[in-house]
Chains A and B, each alone.
Chain A
Amino acid sequence: MADGYPELLKSLSADEADAVLALGRGLTLLSGAVLFQLGGDADQLYIVDRGRVNLTLPMQVFGQEQDILVEERVAGQTLGWSALIPPHRFTLKATAQLDSDLLAFPRSELLAHFAARPRVGYAVMSNLAATVGHRLQVFQAMWLREMRRGLELSRGTGGAA
């Protein structure tokens, strides 16, 4: 991590955070490598240690399926939270945009750790809820902006800035 602890471990003591980090396994992705596919089983949560990972969704553009950027995750940020949220299937595809180092946390080990240390589990799940909620808010706003544009297009009012 560039500095301090990752967002997922916010509000934990250094000892508690280090204990969680010790559950992670280092993983290096070369630029362009796919970390997980849309619809795949989500049994590991990831924290980006270095580099950048793109989260994409497929979209048909001129008859070809293309990966369209939805989010970027950089050092200190979490991805793959579907590992902790049923039905444990990835809803995006993750691809390293740069050579990247990550920590991978198996769900079973995380849950066992949380079960033995409820305070840590509560803090981590609260931080995860903040990440999930943030995405919801961003996409809620983006959806509304897109709907407004759709209405403007249909009514021919355009949208000069």
Chain B
Amino acid sequence: MVMFLMALSLSVFGLAMSALAFGAATRTQRTPEPALQPQIDLAPERFFGESRPAFHRQPNVPLEVLLLQIERHVRLEQAAAESFIHLPSSEALNLRTQSPLAH
């Protein structure tokens, strides 16, 4: 009797393990991980486009001040680009300037 119960419990245990394994396997097949799609939401404004969002946060900036900021930004960006051309490297290319329009 004891042997019968042991055999029965082992069978039930084995069946349970098989069911769990089968469930796990089929669940993986049924719900595959969605492929990662890089989401690139380009900012609507560009270097030669409309003003940047930073400008919108400062609605009272006079036009003259803004134009000076843009001019300074261009000079700093050109200097950064020249630095990259002089000694090309990823670090030089991505070097940040102190331009307020670049932050």
Q: Interface on A for B, CB 8 Å cutoff?
A: 57, 59-62, 64, 66, 68-71, 134, 137-139, 141-146, 148-151, 153-155, 158-161
Q: B51 contacts A62, CB within 8 Å?
A: yes
For window 40-81 of B, CB contacts with A under 8 Å fall at 40-43, 45-53, 63, 66-67, 70-71, 74-75, 77-78, 80-81
Task: Give chain A residues whose Cβ lies under 8 Å from the Cβ of B70.
Answer: 59, 61, 68-69
Q: How far is the CB of B94 from chain A (nearest CB, A)?
A: 7
A144 to B84, CA, bound (A): 12
Q: A158 contacts B81, CB within 8 Å?
A: no
With A144-B93, A155-B41 as given contacts, are A61 and B67 in contact (CB-CB < 8 Å)? Answer: yes
Residue of B with least CB distance to A139: B81
Q: How far is the CB of B72 from chain A (nearest CB, A)?
A: 9
A160 to B100, CA, bound (A): 10
Chosen A-B contacts, 19 in total, with CB atoms closer than 8 Å, are A60-B50, A61-B51, A61-B66, A61-B67, A61-B70, A66-B67, A68-B48, A71-B78, A134-B85, A138-B82, A141-B81, A141-B85, A142-B47, A145-B80, A148-B94, A153-B52, A154-B42, A160-B103, A161-B98
Q: B103 contacts A158, CB within 8 Å?
A: yes
Q: B84 contacts A159, CB within 8 Å?
A: no
Residue of B with least CB distance to A67: B67
Task: Give chain A residues whose Cβ lies under 8 Å from the Cβ of B94.
Answer: 145, 148
Which of B41, B85, B93 meets A145, CB within 8 Å? Answer: B93
Task: Give chain A residues whose Cβ lies under 8 Å from the Cβ of B93.
Answer: 141, 144-145
Task: Give chain A residues whose Cβ lies under 8 Å from the Cβ of B50.
Answer: 60-61
Task: Give chain B residues whose Cβ lies under 8 Å from the Cβ of A149.
Answer: 43, 102
A137 to B74, CA, bound (A): 15
Residue of B with least CB distance to A58: B48
Q: How far is the CB of A122 from chain B (nearest CB, A)?
A: 24
Task: Give chain A residues whose Cβ lies under 8 Å from the Cβ of B49.
Answer: 59
